[in-house]
Amino acid sequence: MNTYDTLVEAINGLKSQGFTQDFNLKEDKIYCPVLKMYYKPKEFEVIEKHRFEGMSSVDDNSVLYAISTRSGVKGLLVDSYGVYSEVSKEMLDKLK
């Protein structure tokens, strides 16, 4: 696993490794808008996780997940730090 200094550097590095899709976090699944596909926690694995802390504000903190689905789709999920009430426990456990 590579280490990256910035979120942009990590995104570019992981995209060059084939993590080309973008995922959005939903309550109990992730969504790939380009493919119009949803994936439940049991249908994907987190391959890499990178944390970044903002220099000016804690609101700038984020986590980048490199994800591979059982069907072979590889992409990235960017999420800010923190636990959100709209995300299921199963999803939180998967992203730990």
Check residue 81 and give its pLDDT.
Answer: 63
Query: What is the pTM for the complete model shown?
Result: 0.86
Summarised one tens digit per residue, pLDDT across range 36-52 is 999 999 999 999 999 98
51 burial class (0-12, 13-18, 19+ CB within 10 angstroms)? exposed
> What whole-number distance in Å separates Cα of residue 77 and Cα of residue 49?
10
Average pLDDT over residues 75-90: 74
Indicate if the pLDDT at residue 61 is higher than 60.
yes
Higher pLDDT among residues 55 and 5, named by residue: 5
Indicate if the pLDDT at residue 54 is higher than 70.
no
Q: Which of 58, 69, 57 is nearest to 94 (CA)?
A: 69
